[in-house]
Amino acid sequence: MHKLIFATNNKNKVLEVRSILGNRFSILSLKEAGINITIPEPHDTLQDNAAEKAQTIFNLTGTNCFSEDTGLEVASLNNLPGVLSARYAGNNSTDEQNIAKLLHNLTGKDRRARFRTVICLIWDSKKYFFEGVCEGSIASTPFGNSGFGYDPIFIPNGGNDRTFAQMTIEEKSQFSHRKKATNKLIQFLLQYGQNKA
């Protein structure tokens, strides 16, 4: 089976990607690969941050790996929080603080938003990028207890006015940015990775 390190410490992201990949690939989280580091995200674009995370792990392990970076982009806020999504309310801010700041800044503004995920795969020392977008809108107040991050305030288009946090992982995956990017990764691996892992 293909073995790949997923360069993340986020358990929810690992769960989501595993539920999409099924048993076609064996995904190791950083912890499972015995790597205990926090990789910085210093860049202005999701693509550059994803590349930095994958390259860091590739340099450490020499193993095929991938990473992803995701941002919530709100058009009426000039696409913020975007690449700053994890630290929108300040360094080390909690999900609750980020959500509170976003809801405050959105008062009286257009609430359309999208999640965008960029995956960087390092395969045979080369980098490949895959993007997934989920269009939706920001709820007036948080709803639901599932998921993570901004899930309680993000309502995907076509999701019957439910937030991601009101959905199971499988339901979220029907719409999600991460699922779309991961599907492109799978297509690549199935096409080019057959005999190489």
Where in the sequence numbering do the catalytic residues fall?
Answer: 69
Q: How far is the CB of 1 from ligand IMP (least distance, A)?
A: 26
| Dist. CA 77–CA 74, nearest whole Å | 5
Residues 46-105, interacting with ligand IMP (CB under 6 A): 69-70, 72, 85-86, 95, 98
Nearer Cβ to ligand IMP, position 147 or 193? 147
Token reading at 173: 């995956």
Q: How far is the CB of 170 from ligand IMP (least distance, A)?
A: 14
Q: How far is the CB of 190 from ligand IMP (least distance, A)?
A: 24
Q: How many other CB atoms are there within 10 angstroms of residue 177's CB atom?
A: 25
Show the binding pattern over residues 132-151: x = contacts ligand IMP (CB under 6 A), - = does not: ---------------xxxxx
| Dist. CA 147–CA 99, nearest whole Å | 14
φ/ψ of 89, rounded to 5, equals: -95, 15
Residues 162-191, interacting with ligand IMP (CB under 6 A): 164, 178
Token reading at 108: 């009286």
Q: Which residues contact 172 (CB under 8 A, 6 or more apart)?
A: 16, 146, 147, 151, 164, 179
- Residues at the contact surface with ligand IMP, assessed by CB under 6 A: 10, 41, 69-70, 72, 85-86, 95, 98, 115, 147-151, 164, 178
